[in-house]
Every structure is written in C-alpha cells, then in structure tokens.
Amino acid sequence: MATLTVPALRTRTPAVLRNRAVGKLLLLALITAVLLPLLHGRTWPHHLTVSLTQPLTSASNWIIDNRDTHPLFLYFFGYISNAVVLAVRAVYVALLALGWPGVTALGALVAWRVAGPRLAAGTAVAFLACGALGMWEPTMQTLALMVAAVLASVLVGTALGLAGGLSPRLDRALRPVLDTMQVLPAFAYLLPVVLVFGIGVPAAVLATVVYAAPPMARLTALGLRGADPEVLEAVESLGATRRQRLLTARIPLARKELLLGLNQTIMMALSMAVIASVIGAGGLGDRVYQALSTVDVGQALAAGIPIVLLAVVLDRVTGAAGADGAKGPRTIGWPYALAVTAAAALAARLLGVLDWPNGWSVQIAAPVNRAVDWMTGHLYSGVPVIGGTADWAAHFTTWVLDPIRDGLQWLPWWSLLLIVAALAWVIGTWRTALTAVLAMAAIGVLGVWEPSLDTLSQVLAAVAVTLVLGFATGIAAARSDRVERALRPVLDVFQTMPQFVYLIPVVALFGVGRAPAVAAAVVYALPAVIRITTQGLRQVDPAALESARSLGATGRQQLWQVQLPLARRALLLAVNQGVVLVLAVVIIGGLVGGGSLGYNVAFGLAQGDLATGLVAGAAIVCLGLMLDRVTQPTERRPGKGA
C-alpha cells in the first residue's frame, strides 16, 4: 500500500493542505475509535455477507429455460442476436468472396487513401504475414466480428455523444457512467452478456460494443462541447437553423475528436474481440486461448503475431486519418481503389486462389516450441549465479506476492476499509472516498473478500514494480531527448497491443502462475506510465525551472524540488492509469494461473456456473471502482473560492 502514497507524500504541499490532510486522517481515526467496539474479526464477517449464488443461479436457469420461449427473448434479444449473427456472417462472406488478394488490395488502398503509400505498403505486408502464418481464416473471422462491432459501437457511441454534447443535462448524467466504464476491466463485461445471449458470436459482439462504444461517446461529446463558442456564435448570427449549425459547424469542428474516438473505439474493439474468445468469439483470440490453455506457445505466437500486426496497422491508419497532415495531395480516389480491389478479387477467383494456398504458409509453431523447450530446459532454472526465469517467478511469488497477500488477509477487514478511506480522501474528495469504501465493502458483502484480496495483492505488487520502473524510465526520458526518441517507437507499438497477447511471452518465459500474470500486467501498464510521467515532467513550467537554475540548483535539486512537485498531477494520473491497466491484465491473468477473481470468471464461463462468474465479475467491478477512486486526484477545486 505504501507505494501508492509515495507521490502524494513527496510533494511539498502547502502547510494549509497538509493540515487539511491531517484533519481528515484525525477525523477518520476518531470515527474508527468510536466504532471499534463493534468491529472484530479478521476476515469479512460472515453475517455481513449476502449470498447471491442462489438467486443468480435461479435467474440464470430461468433465462436458459426461457431463452427460446419467452417473448422478451423472442422479440427483443432474439432479434438483436439474429441481426448480429447476420451482420457478422455477411461481412465474413464478403471478406471470403474478396479472397486474400482482394482483402489485401482493399486494405492497402484504403490505407493509401487515408494515410499515404508507406502505411499502404505496411498494411499489405501485414495482411500477407497473416496469411503466411497460416492464420488467414481466423484473421478474417476476427476482422468480420470487429467490423460489425465497430460499426455498432460507432453508431451507439456517436448517438450517446451527440446527446451528451448537445444537452448539458444528459452530459452530466452520462459522463460519470462512461468514465467508470472506461476503468473497468474487459473481463467484467463478459458475464452479463453471456447471461442474456449465451456463449457465442452475438455475446462476443455485444460485449465488444459495450466495451468499445464509451470512448466514441466521450470524445464525440468532448468535441461537440469544445467547439469555439465564437464560431458557433458567428454561425448563429448568420441565421443558421439548429440542424445547419450541427451539420455545418459543430460536427466538422469536432472532426479531430471524432476521428480520435474512432481510433480508440477500433483499438478497444480489437482488444475485446480477442478477449471475447472466452465467450465464443472465435478467430485469432480463440487460437491464442486454445493454445495457451495447453501451454502451446508456438501456436499462441502464430495467432498472436497477426493480432499485433492488425493492431499496429489499424492504429496507424486511423491515427493518420485524424492527423492534420491528412490534407496533403490525395493520391488515389475511392472509385479507383474499389476498381482495383474488384479486379484483384476477380483475378483471384479466376485463378482459383481465393483461399490462402496451403503451400505458402510458414509453420512457425514447431520451431518456436522447440525454442521454448530449449528455454525450459536451459533457462528456467539452475542457470549459474542469476538463476532461471522460473526461479525468479518462484522467488517473486514466495518473497513478494505471498507476503503481500498474507498481509492483506491478516489485516482486519475494517482496517482495510479505513486505509482505503484515508487514501481516497487525502488524494481526492470525500465523494471519491465514500465510493471507494462502499465498493470495497460491497466486495465483502458479495462474499469474495479472500479471493479479491488475492487479486488485490497481485495488483499492488504489479503496480509497485510498474511505478518504480515507469517513474525511473519516465524521468530518464524527460531529462534526455535521446532516451525519449529511442523509447517512442517502442512505446507506440506496446500501447497499441491488445491485453491478451501479453500473456504469450510471459507464459513462454515464466510458465503459468501468479508471477507471470503480474509480469504481463507490468509490461502492459508500463508504456502508459512512462509516457504520462515523461509528458508531465516535460510540461513543467519552463519559467519555474529557469528560476531554479538561475538560483544555482543542481540537476538533482531541480528534479526533486521543482519538476516532481510541479508534475504532481501528472504523476498521480500515471498512478491511476497504472492501477487501472494493471488490474485489467491481472484479471485476464486468471487464464494463465493467476487464480482468484479472473479464474472465477473463466471457470464460471467454462463450467456454465454463471453465478460464480457473475459474483466474481461484480467483485472485479467493485475492485476497479475502488482502485480508481483511491488514486483519483481531485479534479477541480472550485466551489468556495470561485
């Protein structure tokens, strides 16, 4: 826990503030002292839990029994489900009809059109690589699912965003919901949709939509709200109707945010489409999932590489569309692009090579597995002096994870609530503190106190490692342009990769267990932490630095006395992001032996024991909410002064 408070304590808060923090802590201590006689026991008291297993099981049974008969399912969810299946199927059939030459041509030409020839070449190479790895078909399945999900997400997101952007009241209602959805781990969304739709493509698509639509909605609303008021006033002064104002001014003015929203939605959709393999999405994610469950690293890698390629290509192309540079000379027009695509598809059909030719595939699974076997034999343990990777993992588990978990479980439950309250209140407001405490208490009430603390211990360990590495690297990058330039491309790629693929290398390196889950979480969260730290430090007011330098401060003094305190907000944001991202992957780590909540969800899905899964899912939501609120810096401090 201590690591979380470090940035807050390091800052040189003015005396008043510090006093305020002390006051808050004293108040909390007082409350506890009064309540202490009522509180006893270590783990969450049994009489305070509410068992939801019974009602949830009967609800899920009812749904399963009535899925084919009840009008709600027949006439509402049934239609949705059919529409989704139809849409995905239609896209998939279209992609197959184009064949690999057609799809590659289409992808490259679209990339050319919106982002220029270099990305066009990159796109073509990426598609060909997918084929060469023998993954053409699953790639198309994933793509079909994504196209349907992204279209739906964009529709839903834009509609919500328009509502929020045009009506302040709706905005106030929507924003906290969207903000919260943004911090929840992907896994939490799986079970509710499965409950209604059952395992399969509709559930996967809908989970993806729910996960991917919020960024579109947020950014649409942000863009609409951020329009220059004088421009809008000018438009109104010319007598524009409301519709005209929306279509000719507000939406075009929000173009940048809309495209950024599209980019984020696509990236989130890919991430979720892969994770949704555990609820029947099929495609690349499924290949990775199947391979990982048998610890077949070679197969997992063969399916993981196309995922990474897709992610990078999609991110770059949509990112370039949003950049200002996109207004350069257009090289090709849409009709031309479509004509070339059609020609490529036709030629492939005539030549009979619509499907990726078998002989052209490179089987990388076997050599990779040989390499992994060699690693298992030579690097896992017993390497002189440094030990082996499995040894490290074991040591990490024994010396770090176990003590933290045992410590958390040893602490009396009310003292944990107290710590949560204190942290959230000191860093944020009493509102965030209240939400955090309630979320934490809800975990206890749900009866999953112990496994949640296990998950929490992994999160804390991973966050500690992430912050140490992230702050160190971030400071280095902020102080040296060379380091930053070297890091940037690496961070760019790492930040675009879906969470799921991080599991592949850690399983190869460390086997399965809690330590690999933590390692994957660290690697996943690190880029964001580094980036935010670097930006925060670099944005410190140059005048403040200048004056420190003019007073003869050394580089170290400048860092500790000026840069870090002034970058407090950015550092807190880095902590917050780090916590949210770590949690997402620690949960997924349940698939590779991370245990606890993530495992419960996976187990519930695999065994059809939806009640267990749903309770774990709810606990994940509460944990995510708690961790986010505990690390959420005060947004603004208006009110009394202003």
Partner 1 sequence: MSTTTPVPTRKPPTAQDEAPVFSVSGLWKVFGPKPERVPADPELGALDAAELRARTGCTAAVRDVSFDVRKGEVFVVMGLSGSGKSTLVRCLTRLIEPTAGTIAIDGEDVRAMDRTRLRELRRHRAAMVFQHFGLLPHRTVLDNVAYGLEIQGVGKAERRERAAEIVAKVGLEGMEHRRPGQLSGGQRQRVGLARALAVDPEVLLFDEPFSALDPLIRRDMQDEVARLHEEEGRTMVFITHDLSEALKLGDRIALMRDGQVVQLGTPEEIVGSPADDYVREFVRDVPREQVLTARTAMRPASLGESAEGPALTPDATVSEAIEAVARTGSPARVMDHGKCLGVVDHEQLLGVVAGVPVAPAAGPRATPEAV
Closer to partner 1 by CB, 89 or 242: give it: 242
- The minimum distance between CB 235 and partner 1, in angstroms, equals 8
Closer to partner 1 by CB, 224 or 573: give it: 224
Backbone angles phi, psi at 195, to 5 degrees: -55, -40
* Binder among 179, 233, 481, 541 for partner 1 (CB under 8 A): 233
CA torsion through residues 577, 580, 581, 582, sign: positive
Piece in contact with partner 1 (CB under 8 A), picked from 238-246, 498-506, 517-525, 546-554: 238-246
Euclidean distance between CA atoms 532 and 121, whole angstroms: 31
Euclidean distance between CA atoms 642 and 636, whole angstroms: 11
- The minimum distance between CB 638 and partner 1, in angstroms, equals 16
Euclidean distance between CA atoms 545 and 551, whole angstroms: 10
- The minimum distance between CB 251 and partner 1, in angstroms, equals 10
Piece in contact with partner 1 (CB under 8 A), picked from 50-58, 198-206, 226-234, 538-546: 226-234
143 sits near partner 1 (criterion: CB under 8 A): no
Piece in contact with partner 1 (CB under 8 A), picked from 249-257, 292-300, 363-371, 425-433: 249-257
420 sits near partner 1 (criterion: CB under 8 A): no
Euclidean distance between CA atoms 161 and 218, whole angstroms: 6
- The minimum distance between CB 240 and partner 1, in angstroms, equals 5
- 484 CB-near residues (< 8 Å, 6+ apart): 477, 478, 534
Piece in contact with partner 1 (CB under 8 A), picked from 244-252, 465-473, 487-495, 527-535: 244-252
240 sits near partner 1 (criterion: CB under 8 A): yes
239 sits near partner 1 (criterion: CB under 8 A): yes
255 sits near partner 1 (criterion: CB under 8 A): yes
- The minimum distance between CB 330 and partner 1, in angstroms, equals 15
326 sits near partner 1 (criterion: CB under 8 A): no
* Binder among 119, 253, 276, 462 for partner 1 (CB under 8 A): 253
Name which of 542, 608, 532, 602 is nearest 568 in CA terms.
Answer: 532
Q: Map residue 289 onto helix, strand or coil.
A: helix
Identity (one letter) of the amino acid at 485? Answer: R
CA torsion through residues 484, 314, 107, 128, sign: positive
248 sits near partner 1 (criterion: CB under 8 A): yes
Helix and strand element counts for the chain (H, E): 32, 0
Closer to partner 1 by CB, 65 or 228: give it: 228
> Residue 277 in contact with residue 288, Cβ under 8 Å?
yes
Piece in contact with partner 1 (CB under 8 A), picked from 125-133, 240-248, 477-485, 604-612: 240-248
- The minimum distance between CB 569 and partner 1, in angstroms, equals 29
391 sits near partner 1 (criterion: CB under 8 A): no
| Beta carbons within 10 angstroms of residue 397's beta carbon | 18
65 sits near partner 1 (criterion: CB under 8 A): no
247 sits near partner 1 (criterion: CB under 8 A): no
For residue 420 the two structure tokens come to 């949560």
Burial of 67 from C-beta contacts in 10 A (0-12 / 13-18 / 19+): middle
Closer to partner 1 by CB, 227 or 390: give it: 227
Piece in contact with partner 1 (CB under 8 A), picked from 33-41, 119-127, 223-231, 484-492: 223-231
- Buried residues in 15-31 as b, exposed as e (16+ CB within 10 A): eeeeeebeebeeebeee
Size of the site for partner 1 (CB under 8 A): 18
Euclidean distance between CA atoms 392 and 98, whole angstroms: 49
Closer to partner 1 by CB, 235 or 585: give it: 235
Piece in contact with partner 1 (CB under 8 A), picked from 77-85, 153-161, 233-241, 597-605: 233-241
| Count, residues in the chain | 642
Closer to partner 1 by CB, 80 or 240: give it: 240
- The minimum distance between CB 242 and partner 1, in angstroms, equals 10
* Binder among 119, 124, 152, 249 for partner 1 (CB under 8 A): 249
Name which of 627, 602, 597 is nearest 615 in CA terms.
Answer: 597
Q: ∠ at Cα 408 (405, 411), nearest 5°?
A: 145
Piece in contact with partner 1 (CB under 8 A), picked from 8-16, 228-236, 476-484, 554-562: 228-236
323 sits near partner 1 (criterion: CB under 8 A): no
Euclidean distance between CA atoms 351 and 417, whole angstroms: 68
230 sits near partner 1 (criterion: CB under 8 A): yes
Piece in contact with partner 1 (CB under 8 A), picked from 90-98, 232-240, 420-428, 436-444: 232-240
* Helix-helix angle 610-630:430-445, to 10 degrees: 160
Euclidean distance between CA atoms 469 and 481, whole angstroms: 18
Name which of 440, 495, 432, 500 is nearest 180 in CA terms.
Answer: 432
Piece in contact with partner 1 (CB under 8 A), picked from 66-74, 205-213, 245-253, 261-269: 245-253
608: left (phi over 0), alpha (psi -120 to 50) or beta: left
- The minimum distance between CB 124 and partner 1, in angstroms, equals 31
351 sits near partner 1 (criterion: CB under 8 A): no
Closer to partner 1 by CB, 489 or 638: give it: 638
- The minimum distance between CB 254 and partner 1, in angstroms, equals 10
Identity (one letter) of the amino acid at 15? Answer: A
Euclidean distance between CA atoms 132 and 305, whole angstroms: 11
For residue 17 the two structure tokens come to 């503030």
Closer to partner 1 by CB, 251 or 419: give it: 251
- The minimum distance between CB 266 and partner 1, in angstroms, equals 23
* Binder among 228, 373, 402, 481 for partner 1 (CB under 8 A): 228
DSSP 126-139: HHHHHHHTT-HHHH
DSSP 339-397: HHHHHHHHHHHHHT--SPPGGG----HHHHHHHHHHHHHHTSS--TTT--HHHHHHHHI
231 sits near partner 1 (criterion: CB under 8 A): yes
Closer to partner 1 by CB, 237 or 294: give it: 237
609 sits near partner 1 (criterion: CB under 8 A): no
* Binder among 15, 16, 34, 238 for partner 1 (CB under 8 A): 238
* Binder among 41, 55, 117, 252 for partner 1 (CB under 8 A): 252
Tell me which residues touch partner 1 (CB under 8 A): 228, 230-231, 233-241, 244, 248-249, 252-253, 255
